[in-house]
Amino acid sequence: MKNYVMGVDFGSTTTKTVILDLKGKMVAACVASKGSISAEGVQVSMDGALAEAGISRKEILRAVSTGYGRRMIDIADQSYTEITCHARGAVALFPQARLVIDIGGQDSKVIAVGGDGLVSQFAMNDRCAAGTGKFLEALARAVQVPLEEMGPMALAATEKLTISNMCATFAETEVISLLAEGQSKPSVLGAVHAAIASRTVGLVARVGMREPAVMTGGVAKNKAAVQFIEQALGAKLLLPPDPQIAGALGAALFALDEVTTPGAGVDEEDQADDTMLIARGCATKPCQKPKEVPLVGPMR
């Protein structure tokens, strides 16, 4: 029996997979990081999600892909851009959302969502990685701080410093210069996060600030990034339990649409109910059991 749908977000640095049952309950989610556009990462992510759901690939009725590598996934019946999927995922989690700020590994985007839940405008970063996860990775290396520690350290900044938000390479040079001047690592990292926030504000300005705003993508797991962006925008951000899987969730919801539309052979009682299970992303660790959280509104 094929009783599940899958969404795969094949991003530039990680692959995220979400599996829903035909009632719209999330039964598994898995995040795998195996390097840039990695076929191995896709396999690990999909296998991890399937294992977590306790099902085989044959039980997937429909799959939708998104992300940079969306056209490279042979299991996918359809693909959508990450803009459409992140908006869909974010609105499913927070139906009141009118703005989605997604900062991923390679790009950042701001998506305005109308009251109908549809994308009304979007803006993406230009080709420089400044203001993205790659920017943070590069500067964590420059400061010689593990990536996961840079956020907490930035929150301890005592000096207000400035670095360029225009170019990741120039920013790295500036970081090294600041350290050479004797500035503390926390203050330098504070400046790094302020640069990300400044870049994000520029993108938000291109579509117009709206509230409530949701933040998705891997960078949303960095508390300092969230705090600096909130300060720069003067608004609180809504954060999903696992912001990294919003795109994959959106893709899975599109797959669900395809099988729950009239005539697709799915009983009415199989339609989504008002709760769903949100799994924690498993990153490269073994996937954890799904955590039940209420869905704050009907999925569209």
Partner 1 sequence: MNAIAQPLKKANRLKTSSLNNKMVNDYWTDVFNAKAEGKLVCWYEGVAINPLMQAADIRWVHGEAWSALLAARNNEQEAQTAAEHRGYMKELCSYARTHIGCGVLAQNRGVEASGSSFSDALGAGKLGERIPAPDMFISAYPYCSTGQQWDEMLFRLFGKKVPIFNISVPWVWGNKPDAIYLGGTEFNEAKQYMVKQLRACTKFIEEQTGKKYNWDSLGEIMSYTKTAGRLRMEAMELCNAKPAPASFFDWTTSLAPVNFIPGGPGIVEYFEKTKAEIVQRIADNEGGIPQEKYRLFWDGIMNWNKIGWLANKFANYDANMVAGRYTHMGFWHEHESIDLNDPLEGMAVNYLVCPINLSAPLMIEQIIKLCKHYEIDGMVLHAARTCRAFSNPQYLIADAVQKRLGLPVAMIEGDMVDESFYKDELVNSRIEAMLESIEARKRVGIAA
Residue 122 forms beta bridges with which residues?
111
Contact 246, 89 (CB under 8 A): yes
Cβ proximity to partner 1, 117 vs 152, nearer residue: 117
Tell me which stretch binds partner 1 (CB under 8 A): 23-31, 51-59, 75-83, 272-280.
75-83
C-alpha distances in Å from residue 134, one per residue of 147, 270, 281 = 11, 41, 20
Cβ proximity to partner 1, 68 vs 94, nearer residue: 68
Compute the least distance from the CB of residue 21 to partner 1, in Å.
25
Compute the least distance from the CB of residue 198 to partner 1, in Å.
18
241 vs 237: CA distance, rounded Å: 13
Local structure of residue 123 (DSSP, 8 states): E
| Residue 108, both tokens | 């950042």
* Burial of 121 from C-beta contacts in 10 A (0-12 / 13-18 / 19+): middle
- Residue from 13, 79, 183, 198 touching partner 1 (CB under 8 A): that is 79
SS3 of 210-263: the string is CCCEEEECHHHHCHHHHHHHHHHHCCCEECCCCHHHHHHHHHHHHHHHHHHCCC
* 296 interacts with partner 1 by CB under 8 A: no
Tell me which stretch binds partner 1 (CB under 8 A): 116-124, 135-143, 144-152, 161-169.
116-124
* 97 interacts with partner 1 by CB under 8 A: no
Compute the least distance from the CB of residue 150 to partner 1, in Å.
27
- Residue from 9, 21, 82, 172 touching partner 1 (CB under 8 A): that is 82
Tell me which stretch binds partner 1 (CB under 8 A): 50-58, 89-97, 122-130, 241-249.
122-130
Tell me which stretch binds partner 1 (CB under 8 A): 120-128, 130-138, 222-230, 267-275.
120-128
117 vs 99: CA distance, rounded Å: 10
- Footprint on residues 212-271 left by partner 1 (CB under 8 A): none
Cβ proximity to partner 1, 25 vs 70, nearer residue: 70
Pick from 180, 188, 7, 179: nearest CA to 92 = 7
Tell me which stretch binds partner 1 (CB under 8 A): 78-86, 211-219, 262-270, 281-289.
78-86
Residue 98 forms beta bridges with which residues?
none
Size of the site for partner 1 (CB under 8 A): 27
* 167 interacts with partner 1 by CB under 8 A: no
10 vs 160: CA distance, rounded Å: 37
Contacting residues toward partner 1, per CB under 8 A = 39, 42, 68-69, 71-74, 76, 79-84, 116, 118-124, 126-127, 206, 208
